[in-house]
Structure 1
Amino acid sequence: MFTGIVQGSFPILSVERKPGLNTLRFDLPAALVEGLAIGASVSVDGVCLTVATIEGSCVNFDVMQQTLSLTTIGELNAEDVVNLERSAKQGAEVGGHIVSGHVDGCAEVIAIDQPENNCFISYRVAAEKMKYIFPKGFVGLNGCSLTIADVNKSENAFTVCYIPETLRVTTHGTKRIGDRVNFEIDRQTQAIVDTVENFLGDNPGLLNAS
């Protein structure tokens, strides 16, 4: 479990590619490595990865084929910069919203608007995911807990407004039109929508009640 408040953005030291398996290697600051253990979960651009090895300040993560296929992790190369967050500890403040790190696919950047001191980025997602997207709702993008500012159902798109601090600490300020980011639905919203859909599906007469 993660809070969606990333702890910074860090470059990948190396990527080792094998059939169906990539290994990402990072050289991380002491504050992030302290107390980290093999088997621990870390959010890497919003994807929950398991620590495979630790050698001093160097940390390796193994990424399986399913994750490589569903997310942007398979596109990453050495020196690419990604958002990182260690898993939340019991009792920790949740400054964003609960993020699982089990992403639902990718969102494509389709528009960027940067009026003075503001930044609006619009994203397109798969049509079937739009039922979980609401104005003022939460969404996870590359590991960041973000609030949805606007929704365009006809374009399967939504817009997020970024504060300067988010752009400074994360990689979102470097995104360009056509880039893809890892996308995670707010699980509470998903549970409500799916429960209502299932209930109405089991009770079709309610839709026709006067």
Structure 2
Amino acid sequence: MFTGLVEEVGVLRSVRRGAHSSVLSIGAREILDGLKIGDSVAVNGVCLTATAVDSGGFTADVMHETLNRSSLSALTAGGRVNLERALPAGGRLGGHIVSGHIDGTGTITARRRDDNAVWYTVAASPSLLRYIVEKGSIAMDGISLTVAGVTERDFSVSVIPHTAAVTILGGKGPGDVVNLETDIIGKYVEKLLRPRETEAAPAGGLTLEFLAQNGF
């Protein structure tokens, strides 16, 4: 589990590609404190397992499913990535609950200045936008952000200078692809509100009586 508060920007030392997987070697400093083989690290918001750790960084495997759902397949040596270690027990939850399991990707369509803030507009599929709500939380490349607005085609976030400076987001603009993880609570609520597959939904739609009869 993560919080969406990026600890460090790392650099890809190498990318070794297989038929349907990759091995990433990532240079880092700050997150190496206490990092052990088997620990979880969010890389651009994707939860990966450290398979090797040395004095200058760590190595992680990326499986086929992760490459299909995220932007990690486009990474090349020399590229910069957001890094965050897993939340320790008793640690502060300063962002929001982030699982590191990417739902999909979005594409930045606009970037504009608003005094000291930077606004990003991100196009995403309807299957993702249904879980994105105004004033809710979104993890974008592993960064915990507050949604400022949502339309049928995209959503917008306003980023403070500090966030832009200490993450890779400050260097991104229109056309760039970002990893997206929507609020996990919304997905669970939707799942629980669906009628059981073995039971038909009421002809008139979902009602309070139907929910009560099914334990909600």
Taking structure 2 as the reference length, what is the TM-score of the superposition?
Answer: 0.89
Q: Which residue of 2 aligns with 1:190?
A: 187
Aligned mates of 1:44, 1:93 — CA distance in 2: 20
Aligned ranges 1:1-210 → 2 under 5 Å: 1-29=1-29, 31-153=30-152, 156-198=153-195, 202-205=201-204
Percentage of identical aligned residues = 36
Amino acid corresponding to residue 120 of structure 2 in structure 1:
I
CA contact (8 A) 1:120 1:159 kept: yes
Aligned mates of 1:181, 1:78 — CA distance in 2: 18
CA contact (8 A) 1:71 1:103 kept: yes
Aligned mates of 1:102, 1:208 — CA distance in 2: 32
* Structure 1 residues 203 and 145: alpha-carbon distance in aligned structure 2, compared to 1, 3 A threshold: farther
- 1:15 Cα deviation (Å)? 1.0
Structure 1 gap segments, 5+ residues each:
none
- 1:206 Cα deviation (Å)? 5.2
4+ aligned runs moved over 4 Å, structure 1: 206-209
* Structure 1 residues 19 and 118: alpha-carbon distance in aligned structure 2, compared to 1, 3 A threshold: same
* Structure 1 residues 197 and 129: alpha-carbon distance in aligned structure 2, compared to 1, 3 A threshold: farther
Aligned mates of 1:195, 1:101 — CA distance in 2: 22
1:17-57 deviation digits (Å, cap 9, x = unpaired): 2222211112221x311211111110000000011111233
- 1:16 Cα deviation (Å)? 1.3
Query: Structure 1 stretch 4-13 or stretch 51-60: which is displaced more?
Result: 51-60
CA contact (8 A) 2:9 2:28 kept: no
1:123-152 deviation digits (Å, cap 9, x = unpaired): 111112222111100111100111000111
Aligned mates of 1:32, 1:68 — CA distance in 2: 23
- 1:163 Cα deviation (Å)? 0.6
Give 1 or 2: higher helix fraction: 1
**Count of matched residue pairs:** 205
Aligned mates of 2:203, 2:43 — CA distance in 1: 42
Query: Structure 1 stretch 123-132 or stretch 144-153: which is displaced more?
Result: 123-132
CA contact (8 A) 1:132 1:193 kept: no
